[in-house]
Chain A
């Protein structure tokens, strides 16, 4: 028996007799395609076609479809093929394949590319408005939940709050310390390197102190928390949404904002200032080490210079921003989590959106605060 499929064409007078032989199965698909393509011209020239199936040793859906296509090609040019010699075990399959691919669905007409761009732009604009609405709704819901807790302090989910504080606060300390320490060290190194040319090395300490306390400490920590904890919130709430856990909560008469979102956002609002403080200290420490080993400035001088350069105001400016940034990160993370739809893909997309959006908003917020503090003279 043949292990390769064959298609024998025997023209007899005006009649073309096709004899497929061997295994017409998916494993031989490349050969089958070549065979059926090469017979095309002969098929369209002949007057009548006979398809003799008796030589086929094995047949599956793919092979049956290729044969069916041959017979349809013949039929399309007005010469229906006579099919003979079909073995019993293949007749059902051939019959089945005869029914399929009979009608092609209407093609979707492609739009003008410019119109498509405009369409996308319009959708994005409306989407942005929706984002703002959702943000404000979540802010309002959180505020109402907070009022509820203030009225009945017993209703605060203390266990959940402590658990989240541990997870996003305490467990984040090592990585926050490491990163801010390195940032502080790098800033100090750059300061010494460039200020040395003007003989202004001692001002490096001013730069490190003010930059870290006012801007970088809180910004770096907020961005890290958005990436670390914001994404975790979105993924958690999103998978809870997918598995209908949030619907289950609602039907039990509980508000998901009370149970899930308030403890999470509150934990962020409490943890971020603490992390900012720890991070800023680590950055100043990093700057101090660089001052000693790279800038030839002893710890005593570093601390003394720092004392002169910075005031409580600088610290306040930094730390005051932290809770607001935490609120933005929390609201974005939770509302993106609740927007997850049924599929795993949407969970991934919403998590990415959450991180990107919260980092963007954190930086915008930092800019607004800079203007605000400048205008009140802090």
Chain B
């Protein structure tokens, strides 16, 4: 039988995070539903990355609770977290001394007991699923382009088929074609693997095309959350400025 919060993948309640005297997140609450793609927008330096890094336990919180799949998390890292979530860091964060294939195999090798043959096959399968060729597996991260780096990082994040995927500005630094492809890829994988995706982004195009819901972070709180259509109607001054500024207007005009 379904639990009361079975539909909530990530539940954040009254989260307070600060550094020194500065409070970055001020009693923030946010629910990410199971199987949705949630986009998080906010001003640069406004705490988007801090929120993401707090949820995944890289930054300590002052107070508040975070529940992942109904389980409260403590903020310490153990091996089991690798099977709960995959994280795509902004710069990819690939291990530079390992080849692409070894990077993708790393979570498998550390968490599971399986034969090298199967591990190779899984790594190649993941690489092909993110749109790379098997030959790319022998390259080193320094030989990859920006788009390929992001794809490999995505393959590594998905190595253990985690139910939740965190993306930190997945399309930043990609050209519009590559960014569009990446958006489509995330959409496809999310459908195929039934992922819950938490995406920090500034890319209005991805917000519009990929995200089921968008949350706006301002003044340390979530000031608006809902489908893109609803956010465009929001009366909050920052949200209005964000979505109805010149750049956004132009983009939305094009899309109409």
Contact = CB atoms under 8 A, between A and B. Distances in A.
Interface of A: 25-27, 29-30, 33, 60-62, 65-66, 69, 89, 92-93, 96-97, 99-101, 103-105, 341-346
B114 A33 contact: yes
10 contacts: A26-B83, A26-B112, A29-B114, A30-B112, A33-B115, A60-B193, A62-B118, A65-B125, A92-B192, A101-B125
Query: A26, A341, A345 — which one has the most chain B CB atoms within 10 A of its CB?
Result: A26
Nearest to B134: A105
Contacts of A33: 114-115, 118
B13 to A, nearest CB: 29
Query: B124, B135, B192 — which one has the most chain A CB atoms within 10 A of its CB?
Result: B192
B121 A69 contact: yes
Given A30-B113, A101-B124, A343-B142, A62 B192 contact: no
Interface of B: 83, 96-97, 108, 111-115, 118, 121-122, 124-126, 128-129, 133-135, 140-142, 158, 160-161, 191-194
A105 B142 contact: no
A29 B161 CA distance: 13
A25 B96 contact: no
Contacts of B111: 26
Given A27-B83, A61-B161, A342-B142, A93 B192 contact: yes
Contacts, number: 72
Contacts of B161: 25-26, 60-62
* Interface of chain B, main secondary structure: helix
* Interface of chain A, main secondary structure: helix
Query: A33, A62, A89, A99 — which one has the most chain B CB atoms within 10 A of its CB?
Result: A62
B96 A344 contact: yes
Contacts of A105: 133-135
B113 A65 contact: no
Given A92-B192, A100-B128, A343 B96 contact: yes
A7 to B, nearest CB: 16
A101 B128 contact: yes
Query: Which 4 pairs of residues, A with B, have the shortest CB-CB distance?
Result: A60-B161, A343-B142, A100-B128, A343-B96
A100 B115 contact: no
A147 to B, nearest CB: 37
A30 B114 contact: yes
